[in-house]
Amino acid sequence: MICERCGTQSDNGARICPHCGAPLTKDASSADGVAALRQGRSHEPPPVYGSRMDRQPRASRYGQDAGRPENHRGVPVPEEAGDRRRVHSRDLQPRKVMRRGVNRALLLTVLAGLLLVSAVVLFVLAIRLPQGHLLLLRATAEDPDKQERVISMIGEENAAKALWIIGQEQIDQGYISRCIETYKQAYALDPQIDGLYNRLLSFADAYEAVGQLEEAEKIYTQLYTEVDESNPQAYRFVIDIMMDQGRLFEATDLMQTAYDKTGELSFKSQREQRVPLPPTSDPDSGRYMQQCRVTLSSPQGYDVYYLLDDEESELPEKGMLFTEPIVLGEGMYTIRAVCVSSELISDEVSLRYTVWFPTPSAPKSRLLTGVYDKPKRVYLYMEDIKITGDTPNQQYTIYYTIDGTAPNIDSPIYTDEGFMLPLGDTTLRAVAVNQYGKVSNEYVGTYKINGTNYAKVFQDSKHQFKAFTLGKTTYDEFAKLYGTGQETMIDSKDTYSGKALQVTYEWGTACFTDINRILYAVSTNNPAMTGPAGSKVGMRTSEVTALFRDRGQAANAKGNRSLYYNETAGYGKYWKDSDTTGRLEYVSFRENGAQTLLVYELENDTVKRINMTLSGEIIE
């Protein structure tokens, strides 16, 4: 088939010209020459093939559609003689493009709907996704009210997570003050958020960055007291702050706490490099059967402060500076001690001592108890105690009495010379006291030396002043003997009214009851007066003791001596007040509980004054 446009010969079955792309019709291709003209399909005579046509200039061949060299309407006619043909003018005209109208309102409506749906989707995603939370909170950072509404929509937990991230971004960008406020807000929204420890570390780090060390320390302290006491990080940061501020005492205390809570050896090592070593003791804590003298010392030569049996007071503030050994007698003791350098205090040591003194056995007498016809000397002794282990070699002091009283440390001390038993019945009582003050059981032995002891114990019913009698003589009767003296009313516990009349004379005083004026006390240095049992001022001490019973008991370590003792009748004693003065004291017991006291004041072994008083009874 021949293309009507370009005249190119094509296969009979082709529908489109392979050269110019024009459609090929069967009718047009089958009619040629005159037949085509007859049918009106062509207005021009058919070309004569094989004849040479005038070649058009190159410019005119491409001038029809210079801007579109590749479309079919601008393709040049082949130059080969066999393919030349004339191109119809209608085929050189451009095709018309059909255009349809567009509904702009509908297009705008669709676009607006799409934008609205997109906005809703984006808003929903912003509320639900973490990245959306960040965007919303960043966008409302300058408007607290809007941000509050955003927090209410996304929830406090989600808001807290986003704010912790925003705070970290702010500190990375250098906005530390803004970061602190963001961290505050985040922590307030969710104090129990996951990963709280590391978040609060960042919070405290921000405070440190702006020099607010007190606030940073509060957060670090909260971390190891409330959040995680086994995590060492917060301890380290607080210790660094304390060390930088010179708070060594607090820092070393925290080092110990950190070591106890975390088990980190670095804290222990850090503390040992700064804190003095604890004090040592000699002897060590333990049980001892003898007196202890405890010495405290510092291995590094520091001062040592201690407290004895005080579990509550603070060391070293309330402690005593150790200067000499601590003497521990029998009992249980606790010693707390520390070493103190110019800056720090060592760990406290607590020393416990139990001191137990062995109790001695009772002394024994080498003289068997019984009745003897002549005076006997008594010797006392102690059985030996086997020394085993830490049992010390005991030293004893034996105290004894033969006047009937119980022996004590104010009794006579036994010596190796022994002592003589007096005539009559004697009860020997003795105890042993070791060097620690432990008292043995008591030895009691009864003896009788045949013979008569005529001396009597003092009895006020028999022994009175020759010229008057206490409890009977009135003031008027006394005045007839010695005249009237200077009268004074005094307080008295021995009268019914509590008052007494005291009359003063040149030789002494006499006291009378307030109501009946009965004599109940007298004090005299008048040699002319004869006292009880014929005693007088100016007599020797031995002369007075010979008037009353004397069991011959030796004096004790103080020089005092018991003359006798009778639990129903009374007692007699000698008291040594000084090297030159003393007293002889006799007491007579009465059945009603009252007693009469007779005292001889001695000076240079001579009676200087006699005092006699009826006491313990209301006299009227």
* Confidence at 7, pLDDT banded by 50, 70, 90: confident
Q: Which residue has the higher pLDDT, 93 or 191?
A: 191
Other beta carbons within 10 Å of 606: 15
pLDDT at 387 over 80: no
* Confidence at 65, pLDDT banded by 50, 70, 90: very low
Closest CA to 366 of 447, 422, 480, 287: 447
> What is the C-alpha separation between 270 and 266, in angstroms, rounded?
6
> What is the rounded average pLDDT of the residues 350-371?
91
Report the pLDDT value the prediction gives residue 50, as an integer from 0 to 100. 47
Summarised one tens digit per residue, pLDDT across range 472-499 is 999 999 999 999 999 999 998 888 888 9
> What is the C-alpha separation between 18 and 1, in angstroms, rounded?
11
Report the pLDDT value the prediction gives residue 454, as an integer from 0 to 100. 61
Mean pLDDT, the chain, as a whole number?
83
pLDDT at 392 over 90: no
> What is the C-alpha separation between 478 and 458, in angstroms, rounded?
24
Report the pLDDT value the prediction gives residue 59, as an integer from 0 to 100. 45
Report the pLDDT value the prediction gives residue 615, as an integer from 0 to 100. 84
Exposed / middle / buried, residue 61 (Cβ in 10 Å: 0-12, 13-18, 19+) = middle
Report the pLDDT value the prediction gives residue 482, as an integer from 0 to 100. 94
What's the CA angle centered on 128, arms 127 and 132, to 5 degrees? 60
Query: What structural domains does the chain harbor?
Result: 1-75 (no CATH), 280-355 (2.60.40), 364-449 (2.60.40), 475-615 (no CATH)
Closest CA to 558 of 537, 546, 575: 575
Helix axes 130-139, 104-128, angle to 10 degrees: 100
* 455 close to 580: Cβ distance less than 8 angstroms: no
Report the pLDDT value the prediction gives residue 434, as an integer from 0 to 100. 83
261-295 b/e (C-beta count within 10 Å ≥ 16 → b): bbebeebeebbeeebbebbbbeeebeebbbebebe
Q: What tokens were used for 274?
A: 């700064």
Structural element, H or E, at residue 29: helix 26-30
Distance from chain centroid for Cα 492: 59
Lowest mean pLDDT among 18-27, 46-55, 208-217: 46-55
pLDDT at 29 over 50: no
pTM, full prediction: 0.48
pLDDT at 26 over 70: no
Summarised one tens digit per residue, pLDDT across range 317-342 is 999 999 999 999 889 999 999 999 87
Lowest mean pLDDT among 111-125, 269-283, 492-506, 593-607: 111-125
Q: What is the CA radius of gyration of the chain?
A: 66
Distance from chain centroid for Cα 439: 44
In order of 175, 265, 312, the CA distances from 257 in angstroms are 35, 12, 20
* Confidence at 502, pLDDT banded by 50, 70, 90: very high
Q: What percentage of the chain carries pLDDT values higher than 70?
A: 82
Report the pLDDT value the prediction gives residue 239, as an integer from 0 to 100. 93
> What is the C-alpha separation between 547 and 528, in angstroms, rounded?
19
Report the pLDDT value the prediction gives residue 60, as an integer from 0 to 100. 47
